[in-house]
Each structure stands twice: as structure tokens, then as C-alpha cells.
């Protein structure tokens, strides 16, 4: 009988990123007890783009993995630790019997009238999930992910936008030992493998669900027949007095992903930030196009809501999965979380390790997260997105 997946992770910090990569690789390989990795994810934070590229390439070779991918990032996560804005390397390796892994590098071809994305591996019936890491400067991630349900025939996508670039051209993407400074990289995983994509959007509902009765593109004029800004003020007024200041920066709008559901829980909404408000017209503008007739609800995001939602998502998964622990997980969490939201950088990784009962969790702090909500792939902000590998 074929054994299940073996997963390991390693983490190291230090001024010498090659030495840190060497240490992180050794720890990750020790966790899989001599098995040859089929897949490796490598993330590097700190240092110049060239230093990050050298560390990525070195680690890819040192793991001996058949397929490897990764990027430079604002911060990295692994082995129960996390580092932001510091020099560090995280390595995640997996031996995956009876599993097929195919790497890809997506590039953008531009003409005077349009753009096209090329390089995606052809979808197979046995494919289970895709993991994608994109350069936010050069790759049209919103458009690609938004159309992925049709173009990839429903393949779930999980991943994030590389966050290690201070400017265009500074991103470094790894795929199978090769380094790129633009586009997107990743893998498609298929075959006999159990994986579960979990997305924690980190908000709690306030007010009540309402129907969009007037809108123009991303600007909502009316909700339930009243000016949208008035409805927002009413929702905030329902909060306890001490919580109302949180709405200055933490107010969001959730757009229902299933208009035909009889009831909408807060996990049924796709969270979008409120980009602005117009006192004269009473309108609000969100970071997405919204259609008349959509069901929406105001949401509040703060540290407590983000913590509670993540714990709830992980707990629900453990319950529905029968309580067993995964073999390991990948974590893509927003740069706006970590120490910007919680007391420590490792909040999300600690929560995932505890919530899933798993030791081997690695990933990076992303400039945007990719994950499915309501059966469709979306680009998120301020989320923690997890890909759990069954044991």
C-alpha cells in the first residue's frame, strides 16, 4: 500500500541568505526522513533582488525537488516562525506519492489592442488545484483570476502576489530552478491527492443584508432604496460606542456570491474595501464592479474579527473533515495582517498550526491573496488563505 504524503518545512534568518537557505533546506528535508521531494516552495525576504534570486535558486537545487517554485516577499513563514521586513528563508517540501505536479510560467503578450496570457499548462480531468504566485507589477492578476473559472474549467486557484518588490522589476519568481522578474509562476497538482482551500476574510457583519437598488460600475448610489452612505452610517451607529471608531478604517462591504441563497451568513460574502464616499450624492465606491440587484452587507474588520474568523474557518474544516489532521499546509497571508494587525508576526501561522493540528506550515506575506469563495476564484486583500494537504 502506497504511503501518504510526507511534508516538511524549514525556516532560517541571517545576513547571509545563502546560509539561511542552506539551513532551512536541511531542516525541511529532515522532516520528510530521506524521501525525495516531489514539490518545494521557497520564499525569501530581505536583501536585494539579486540576493533573493541567488537564495531562491540555491534552495531549489539543494532540496533536490522535482518541481520547485517561490518568490521574494516582504515576510516569510515556516517552522512555527515568521519574519517581516527581515532577511530570512522559508522552505516547504512534500513527497507526494501518486501525485502529478506540473509547473508553469505565465507571460503577458501585449498588442496595440489587447493582451494575452500564455504559458498555462492545459487543464486535465485529474487536476485538483493550482497554486499561483504573481508579480503585481507586470501580471494582470485580477483579470486572469476573474476569468479562471471558465478558462481553467473550474480549477481552484490558491496563492498570492509577490510582495518583495519596492518597485517594478524587483520581483523575483522561481520555477524549476529558473528565476523570472515578471509574469506569474506556479504548479498544477493532480492525481491521488486530497487538498482543501480555506479562505478567511477576517470580517464580521454589521447591519443587515440589503439589495443594491442603484449603482454605476463600482459606485453604489442606493441600498434598499436609500442613499448608500446613509445606510453605512446607520450600520456603524448600531455598533457599541467604543467600537464605532474602528469603522474609520475597518469598514468593508460584502457582496453575496450566491444571489439565490435563502439566507446569507457572513462567510457567503466576498469582501471588498470601501474606496471612497461622496457626501453630496450619498454614494460609496468599492474596489469592484457591483450590479444592481446584488445582495450586500457592511462588514467590520479588526484584529478580533480577523482572529475569530480564522479560528472559525479552521474549526469548521476540522469538523467537516472528520477531525483528522492534515499532513501540512501552505499559508498566504496579507502584508496588512502580521504585526500590522496582531501583536506578533506569527499570529496566522500559529493559528493555522493549532486550528488544523498540523506541524508543517509555510508561506509568505502577500500583496494580495488568491483563493476560491463561493466556487469561484478571487483576488483578496487582508485575508489568510490556506491550502491544506490531507494525510
Does 154 have pLDDT greater than 70? yes
Does 1 have pLDDT greater than 50? no
pLDDT over 90 for what percent of the chain?
90
* pTM: predicted TM-score of the whole model, two decimal places: 0.94
Asked if 6 and 35 count as a contact pair (C-beta separation under 8 A), the reply is yes
Q: What domains sit in the chain, N to C, each tagged with a CATH number? A: 6-200+307-389 (no CATH), 205-300 (2.40.30)
Q: Give the list of residues 6+ apart from residue 343 with CB closer than 8 angstroms, or none.
A: none
Average pLDDT of the chain?
A: 94
- 26 confidence band (pLDDT: 50, 70, 90): very high
φ/ψ of 80, rounded to 5, equals 75, 15
Asked if 347 and 337 count as a contact pair (C-beta separation under 8 A), the reply is yes
Grid cell 446569507 in the structure block, residue: 264
Give residue 167's pLDDT. Answer: 95
| 140: DSSP letter | -
Read off the C-alpha cell for 330: 501552505
| 325: DSSP letter | P
Asked if 197 and 372 count as a contact pair (C-beta separation under 8 A), the reply is yes
Q: What is the pLDDT of residues 114-150, one digit of tens each?
A: 889 999 999 999 999 999 999 999 999 999 999 999 9
**C-beta neighbour count of 79 within 10 angstroms:** 22
The SS3 assignment for 76 reads strand
**Which of 30-39, 60-69, 347-356 has the least mean pLDDT?**
30-39
Give residue 267's pLDDT. Answer: 64
Name the residue with higher pLDDT: 104 or 261: 104
CA distances, 46 to each of 19, 178, 186 (Å): 14, 20, 22
Amino acid at each position: 500500500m502506497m504511503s501518504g504524503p510526507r511534508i516538511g518545512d524549514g525556516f532560517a534568518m541571517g545576513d547571509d541568505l545563502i546560509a539561511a537557505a542552506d539551513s532551512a533546506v536541511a531542516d525541511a528535508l529532515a522532516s520528510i526522513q530521506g524521501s525525495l521531494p516531489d514539490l518545494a516552495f521557497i520564499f525569501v525576504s530581505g536583501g536585494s533582488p539579486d540576493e533573493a534570486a541567488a537564495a531562491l535558486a540555491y534552495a531549489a537545487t539543494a532540496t533536490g525537488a522535482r518541481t520547485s517554485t517561490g518568490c521574494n516577499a516582504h515576510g516569510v513563514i515556516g517552522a512555527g516562525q515568521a519574519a517581516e521586513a527581515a532577511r530570512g528563508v522559508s522552505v516547504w517540501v512534500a513527497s507526494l506519492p501518486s501525485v502529478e505536479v506540473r509547473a508553469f510560467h505565465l507571460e503577458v503578450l501585449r498588442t496595440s489592442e489587447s493582451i494575452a496570457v500564455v504559458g498555462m499548462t492545459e487543464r486535465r480531468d485529474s487536476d485538483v488545484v493550482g497554486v499561483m504566485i504573481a508579480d503585481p507589477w507586470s501580471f494582470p492578476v485580477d483579470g486572469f483570476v476573474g476569468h479562471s473559472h471558465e478558462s481553467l474549467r473550474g480549477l481552484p486557484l490558491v496563492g498570492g502576489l509577490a510582495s518583495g518588490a519596492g518597485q517594478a522589476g524587483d520581483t523575483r519568481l522561481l520555477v524549476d530552478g529558473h528565476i523570472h522578474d515578471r509574469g506569474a509562476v506556479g504548479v498544477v497538482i493532480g492525481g491521488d491527492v486530497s487538498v482543501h482551500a480555506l479562505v478567511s476574510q477576517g470580517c464580521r457583519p454589521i447591519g443587515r443584508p440589503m439589495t443594491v437598488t442603484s449603482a454605476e460600475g463600482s459606485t453604489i448610489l442606493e441600498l434598499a432604496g436609500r442613499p448608500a452612505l446613509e445606510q453605512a452610517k446607520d450600520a456603524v451607529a448600531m455598533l457599541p460606542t467604543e467600537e464605532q471608531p474602528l469603522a474609520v478604517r475597518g469598514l468593508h462591504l460584502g457582496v453575496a456570491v450566491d444571489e439565490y441563497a435563502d439566507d446569507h451568513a457572513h462567510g457567503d460574502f466576498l469582501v471588498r474595501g470601501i474606496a471612497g464616499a461622496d457626501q453630496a450624492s450619498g454614494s460609496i465606491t468599492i474596489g469592484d464592479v457591483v450590479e444592481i440587484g446584488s445582495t450586500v452587507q457592511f462588514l467590520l474588520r479588526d484584529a478580533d474579527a480577523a482572529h475569530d474568523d480564522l479560528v472559525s474557518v479552521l474549526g469548521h474544516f476540522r469538523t467537516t473533515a472528520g477531525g483528522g489532521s492534515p499532513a501540512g499546509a501552505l499559508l498566504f497571508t496579507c502584508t496588512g495582517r502580521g504585526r500590522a494587525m496582531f501583536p506578533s508576526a506569527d499570529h496566522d501561522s500559529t493559528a493555522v498550526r493549532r486550528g488544523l493540528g498540523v506541524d508543517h506550515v509555510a508561506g509568505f506575506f502577500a500583496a494580495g491573496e488568491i483563493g476560491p469563495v463561493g466556487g469561484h476564484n478571487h483576488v483578496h486583500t487582508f485575508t489568510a488563505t490556506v491550502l491544506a494537504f490531507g494525510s
